[in-house]
């Protein structure tokens, strides 16, 4: 319990998958957690699991695409004199959730807008609030969830791929703009990870997916969580603007 001792960490999308695993891993390393999720019950379940293990966590319902909701969360934190030292911007949706699981020419404007509003604008809104908060507080560390789809064009997931490319660019821009404010900003780019997002793909083409990964398995949420915790911690004090690939070698 040393990497994040004495720090408060905000995790969006903390109710399940990579967000939940990272919240639990950060608490294990001594952090106090604020677990945010659009599903407030799921956020509370994660917080309760942390508390049950002897850690400290609060839960909050949050739609990251709602600018007023993001502002409201940070206003509440400031009223309660809570400082956010680290943040993991993990909330997002996949192509199926946006109705954009198709070739780019067939994506509707509505599906495109939903994907961008949640994944890209939502990440921007939370990132902007965190940057302002940390700048006033004297520094901090932020990690954004991108994807290997943010590094190349993923077939039949063009809108999703564009949104994740945007998160990589957003990460680099923020890192450059706010290095002088003692704020580090990095991204993780997961490959196939065994979460709810991947369930349909695993059911339809599990063996093929596994065969495409040199390490011979899909990732687990904890595989991503451990890297995120390190990036948030002072052990990564000279790392900013990076986009770490965590895909079992799939893009090698």
Residues with active-site annotation: 160
DSSP structure string for 159-189: HHHHHHHHHHHHHHHHHHHHGGGTEEEEEEE
Query: Which two tokens mark 26?
Result: 């950060």
Query: Which two tokens mark 94?
Result: 């996949």
- Triad 242, 144, 219: Cα angle to 5°: 90
Place of tokens 């993991």: 88
Q: For the packed helices 67-79 and 122-137, what is the interaxial angle rounded to 10 degrees? A: 20
- Residue 32 vs residues 23, 41, 187, 229: alpha-carbon distances, Å: 9, 19, 21, 13
């Amino acid at each position: 319990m040393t990497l994040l001792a004495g720090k408060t960490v905000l995790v969006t999308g903390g109710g399940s998958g990579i967000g939940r695993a990272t919240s639990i891993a950060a608490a294990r390393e001594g952090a106090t957690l604020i677990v945010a999720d659009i599903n407030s019950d799921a956020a509370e379940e994660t917080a309760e699991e942390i508390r049950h293990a002897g850690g400290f966590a609060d839960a909050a319902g949050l739609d990251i695409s709602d600018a007023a909701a993001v502002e409201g969360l940070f206003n509440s934190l400031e009223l309660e004199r809570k400082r956010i030292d680290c943040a993991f911007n993990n909330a997002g949706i996949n192509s199926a959730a946006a109705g954009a699981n198709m070739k780019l020419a067939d994506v509707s404007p509505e599906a495109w807008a939903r994907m961008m509003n949640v994944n890209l604008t939502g990440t921007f809104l939370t990132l902007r609030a965190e940057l302002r908060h940390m700048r006033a507080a004297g520094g901090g560390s932020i990690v954004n969830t991108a994807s290997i789809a943010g590094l190349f064009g993923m077939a039949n997931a063009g809108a999703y791929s564009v949104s994740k490319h945007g998160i990589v660019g957003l990460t680099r821009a923020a890192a450059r703009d706010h290095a002088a404010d003692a704020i580090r900003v990095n991204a993780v780019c997961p490959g196939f990870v065994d979460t709810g997002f991947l369930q349909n793909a695993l059911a339809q083409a599990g063996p093929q997916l596994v065969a495409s990964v040199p390490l011979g398995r899909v990732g687990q949420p904890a595989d991503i969580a451990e890297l995120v915790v390190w990036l948030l911690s002072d052990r990564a004090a000279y790392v900013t603007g990076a986009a770490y690939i965590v895909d079992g070698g799939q893009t090698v």
